[in-house]
Amino acid sequence: MSQLDYSLIGNCQISALLDNKARYVWSCMPRLDSQAIFASLLGNEDNGIWSCLPEDPSYQTRQSYLHNTNIIKTEFSLQSGERFEIVDFAPRFRHRDGYFRPVQLIRIIRKVAGNPRVRMVLKPRFDYGRVTPSVSVSSEGIAFNNQSERLYFSTNIPTSYVADGQVFELTGDYYGVLSYNEPFERSLRFGCEEYLERTIQYWRTWVKHCNIPCEYQEAVIRSALALKLHIFEDTGAIIAATTTSIPESGDGGRTWDYRYCWLRDAYFVIQVLNQLGHFEEMEKFVAYLHNIAVSEPSGELQPVYGIGGERELTEHKLPWLSGFRGMGPVRIGNAAYAHPQHDAYGEMVLAVAPIFLDSRLDRIDPRRAFNHMVTLVEHAIVTFDRPDAGIWEHRLHRDHYVFSKLMCWVAVDRGLKIATRLGKADQYSNWFHEAKRMRDIIEREAWNEELGFFTQTLNGKNPDAANLLMAAVNFSRWDSPNFRQMVNKYEALLMKSGFVFRYRNKDDLGVPLNAFTICTFWMVDALWGMGRKEEARKIFETTLMRANHVGLLSEDVDPETGELWGNFPQAYSHVGVINSAFRLSKPWEEAL
């Protein structure tokens, strides 16, 4: 069961969500983090929608991706026996020395049986559904105007039918191209068909270049394709999710904008890109992160940045949008950029470590990169003893969160290893003592002997799923007694129906109601590392079953109903799919 029955299309410049009736309900132009021109996902049809539905309401749909692509096909079957299909995509393919990724959405409508009568409704809006554009119709198509911005719609459907929302009969193939600021210059039919064929070829070739495990191939491929659509190719940044303000649970309030790049995700994304064998994406993301590290005037890191490296992500609400299913508020921007979140130093050091370890990364001067890494390590040492907002970004409370301490230790530990590799260890011998001091504090003040687990805060009493990463970052061994005992306790305290909560204690908005998808994959990895492989496999496969009808996962899941909640699709959830699948899969040599 899923209440997020949407499919994702895109081209690493823009993206769009379509519901299971092929209605565009969310799309931002001209970038992944720009204003939404279709925002009915968070309001109603007056906030922007693009649909093409049968006049007869008695119909059924079936939706799927074209094999190994990010191109979606929706099949409509009418009670009368008439049928048609809609193919939607954003063009992407090799062009000259780069990739052609225009700010365009292309829709192809093909009749399959009979002559179904349909009505197309095209109502783009500007400024997240607030501004209704002026409309002009000409022989070139339809233009939607708002001051300096313009959307062009080129089509072989009579423009009067589109402009007035009139019913018309499908007698052949129809094409529609919605473009931002520049009209579609190609011959419509041949241009759309060529773009479709070349985009299919691009995605299938990209998938062929993916390393995949022996098992769970379909889930890994779909997750890889979804992750790719969260990349903003211009800078290499990777956004956390396509959307803003889909609530984490039915009680509302937890509605955040995730169209930005979080450092907490960076290392794990880079790790997965490396596993998949997509070096170019990894290289560009590392370069984006390195540029952030060298661009910070003070050397202090924010937890989140804009996809162009923007530092100020001022958060405000959009009162004209009622919210997803009426559950607001709708927010754009994210106040987390101003939060102290000290785990960022460890994650950044891990993320830029390939500069010093991977000889293929030869575009960045390692000497300059090392100097900036030293700054990161020194900041980790200074901030270790300070309270912060924690990985889960508590807005009203600062504390000594164990995961933040852990990642400060990671920054120093990995910094020391890199310095040793470069023959500079003697210059930074104090790092050895700092790493030992940090470890001693974590082992002494984070471990609660009476409760039998590492706690959320130093000298605390609550569990925190982020501590499941202790073994993954080499602080603990998978088989160490304390780690094993913690995992056993966390199963009882944080798991419900096979899904793992971040924590169960009250935060700024109350007690969380739904499990956090990536935390479930962390539990899978922990169980696997401890040798409980069949249990890990069962939890993993149960989680995969919660993906929606086209294989996509959100941020959260209701463990009771299986409903998906939170921003969608969630890149980090699909990173978890890929990472766990590689761990669990049997080796290729055992395939037969």
- State the total domains in the chain: 2
Q: Which residues pair with 54 in a beta bridge?
A: 118
| pLDDT > 80? residue 592 | no
- Asked if the model's pLDDT at residue 585 lies above 60, the reply is yes
Per-residue pLDDT reduced to its tens digit, 36-45:
999 999 999 9
| Domain membership flag for residue 433 | yes
Residue 432 in domain = yes
Q: Residue 1: inside a domain, yes or no? A: no
Distance, in Å, from the CA atom of 547 to the CA atom of 563, rounded to the nearest integer, reads: 9
The pLDDT tens digits of the residues spanning 267-281 come to 899 999 999 999 999
Q: Are residues 397 and 252 in the same domain?
A: yes
Extract the tokens encoding 5: 């029955």
pLDDT recorded at residue 294: 86
For residue range 309-357, list pLDDT tens digits in order.
999 999 999 999 999 999 999 999 999 999 999 999 999 999 999 999 8
For residue 573, CA distances in Å to 241, 273, 534, 547 come to: 10, 14, 21, 10
Q: Are 490 and 523 in contact (CB under 8 A)?
A: yes
252 confidence band (pLDDT: 50, 70, 90): confident
Indicate whether 72 belongs to any domain: yes
Give the pLDDT score at 362.
Answer: 80
Q: Indicate if 299 and 169 belong to the same structural domain.
A: no
pLDDT value, residue 485: 98
| pLDDT higher than threshold 90 for residue 366 | no
Segments of 433-517 assigned E as strands: 447-448, 453-454, 495-496, 499-500, 515-516
pLDDT digits (tens, 9 = 90+) for 112-155: 999 999 999 999 999 999 999 999 998 889 999 998 899 999 99
Banded pLDDT at 1 (limits 50, 70, 90): very low
CATH number, residue 102: 2.70.98.10
Position 257 pLDDT exceeds 70: yes
Q: Count other Cβ atoms within 10 Å, centred on residue 88.
A: 21
The pLDDT value recorded for residue 186 is 93
Do 199 and 217 fall within a single domain? no
Q: Is 136 helix (H, G, I), strand (E, B) or coil?
A: strand
Q: What average pLDDT does the segment 388-403 reach?
A: 93
The rounded percent of the chain whose pLDDT value lies above 90 is 90
Question: Do 232 and 331 belong to one domain?
Answer: yes
Which CATH number characterizes residue 415's domain?
Answer: 1.50.10.10
Give the 3-state secondary structure of residue 132: coil
**Are 32 and 141 in the same domain?**
yes
Region 365-389 average pLDDT:
93
**Strand, helix or coil at 54?**
strand
Whether the predicted pLDDT of 15 surpasses 70: yes
Domain boundary at 185, 205, 225, which? 205
Same domain, 182 and 237: no
Confidence of residue 157 (pLDDT cuts 50, 70, 90): very high
Q: For residues 186 and 295, state if they share a domain.
A: no
Residue 25 lies in a domain: yes
Q: Where would I find the H helices in 179-276?
A: 188-208, 217-228, 263-276
Range name among 1-10, 306-315, 499-508 with the lowest pLDDT average: 1-10
236 lies in some domain: yes
pLDDT bin (cut points 50, 70, 90) of residue 227 is very high
Q: Which helix (H) or strand (E) holds 367?
A: helix 366-383
Last residue of a domain, which of 148, 178, 205?
205
Cβ–Cβ under 8 Å, residues 198 and 270: no
pLDDT band at 296 (very low <50, low <70, confident <90, very high): confident
Q: Which pLDDT does position 2 carry in this prediction?
A: 60
- Where does residue 109 rank: exposed (0-12), middle (13-18), buried (19+ CB within 10 A)? buried
User: Mean pLDDT, the chain, as a whole number?
Assistant: 95
Domain boundary among 205, 236, 269: 205
| Contact present, 257 and 244 (Cβ < 8 Å) | yes
Residues 445, 357 share a domain: yes
| 182 pLDDT above the threshold of 80 | yes
Give the percent of the chain with pLDDT over 70.
100
- Do 464 and 579 lie in one domain? The reply is yes
Q: Are residues 200 and 226 in the same domain?
A: no
Q: Are residues 381 and 409 in the same domain?
A: yes
Domain that holds residue 82: 6-205
**Whether residue 261 has pLDDT greater than 60:** yes
Whether 299 has a pLDDT exceeding 80, the answer reads: no
Query: Does the residue 592 lie in any domain?
Result: no
- The CB density around residue 459, as the number of other CB atoms within 10 Å, is 11
* Residues 167 and 23 occupy one common structural domain: yes
